Amino acid sequence: MRSDGVELTLALAPRIAPLLAQRIDGLAERTPADLTFGNLWLFRRAHQWRWHDGPWPCLSGVTYDGQRSALPLFDLRHATKDVVRTLVDRHGALFPLCEREAEAVVDAGFELANHRDDADYVYRAQEFRSYRGRALRKKANLMAQLLAAHRLDVEPYGAHLHDTAVGVLEGWMQDKGKAPGDADEAACKDALGLAPELRLRGFLYRADGQPAGFLLAEPLQEGVWAIRFAKGLARFKGIAQYMFHHFASSGSSGNGPTVDWLNFEQDLGLANFRHTKMSYRPAFLLPKWRLLHLTA
């Protein structure tokens, strides 16, 4: 193994996924969206992840805002101050830390910070099932307009729908004025090609027989889902609101997964992301902490 670690590949999933599961055990709806192997692998390019094995395993890379960082693959509450100091000196800030981990080290002399841009948006699924109340009236109206104008059909996503979904993604890129390779296109194509392996579940949506959108989500905990990708074509106004409503309702019949909470991930400090995610009225913003260095 090279001293600077090895590239993050799918072959490492059996080694890394159980370590992540231990870190998030018992966090319920307060589970950060980042801490699954599928998410780490999908966005490996942006973060330049490198795997470091050993008694205190971690991934090294960079945050979205360019800070050198390490993602611990162990519960920080079980590490000594010297272990933590060594990791920070070698790789940079430890990120993301859960709230309980931050609480455990806050009195150990380390500087901690949380950035608004990193916080996950967490919603009660019931809000999407009903779109009730004045704050969500516009969402309900958009969905009603879509249903009045089009016949909607929904099919569980599977490999047979791959090419159709890629076509929707390409149409979404054109609608957004994005060049090939921009936005999250590469990660989304990876997800569409490897959905079962990455524990992604979702649906393809058609309007009047034409592909209109798709949604892929990943379970974080029982009843808690991260919405990884939701792409809808602009000409079907209201498709995003319908897709969120449908997924949140998909377990109501007893035939689908339990959906109690939805995590829409962070906004990266982008104004359009922040405005859209706030417009759905999150139940709370989930902070994710950075451990920077020893202060004393």
Query: Could you state, in order of their start, the residue ranges of all structural domains in the chain?
Result: 6-115+288-294, 120-265
Which position has the token pair 């939701």? 230
Residues 6+ apart with CB under 8 A from 127: 136, 248, 280, 281, 283
Average pLDDT score over the chain: 94
pLDDT of 251: 78
pLDDT of 296: 52
Whether the per-residue pLDDT at 3 is higher than 80: the answer is no
**294 band by pLDDT with thresholds 50, 70 and 90:** low
pLDDT of 1: 31
CA-CA distance, 272 to 35, in Å (whole number)?
A: 25
Report, at the CATH architecture level, how domain 6-115+288-294 is classified. Answer: 3-Layer(aba) Sandwich (3.40)
Which residues sit opposite 72 in a β-bridge? 58
pLDDT of 254: 60
Whether the per-residue pLDDT at 182 is higher than 90: the answer is no
**Per CATH, which fold does 120-265 belong to?**
Aminopeptidase (3.40.630)
Which position has the token pair 């569409």? 192
pLDDT of 173: 96
Backbone angles phi, psi at 212, to 5 degrees: -120, -25
Mean pLDDT, range 215-224, rounded to an integer: 98
Residue 33 burial class via C-beta count within 10 angstroms: exposed 0-12, middle 13-18, buried 19 and up: buried
The answer to whether the 6-115+288-294 and 120-265 domains have the same CATH topology is yes
Query: Of 150, 102, 118, which is closest to residue 287 (Cα–Cα)?
Result: 118
CA-CA distance, 84 to 80, in Å (whole number)?
A: 6
Mean pLDDT, range 146-175, rounded to an integer: 98
Helix H, strand E, coil C: the string for 46-109 is HHCCEEECCCCCEEEEECCCCCEEEEECCCHHHCCHHHHHHHHHHHCEEEEECHHHHHHHCCCC
Q: How many CA atoms lie within 13 A of 279 on its CB side?
A: 12
The model's pTM is 0.95
Tell me: the pLDDT tens digits for 35-86?
Answer: 999 999 999 999 999 999 999 999 999 999 999 999 999 988 889 999 999 9
Tell me: the pLDDT tens digits for 185-206?
Answer: 999 999 999 999 999 999 999 9
How many residues are recorded in the chain?
296
pLDDT of 2: 39
Task: List the structure tokens of 154.
Answer: 């929904």
Tell me: the pLDDT tens digits for 259-273?
Answer: 999 999 999 999 999
Give the pairing of strands 261-263 and 224-232: parallel
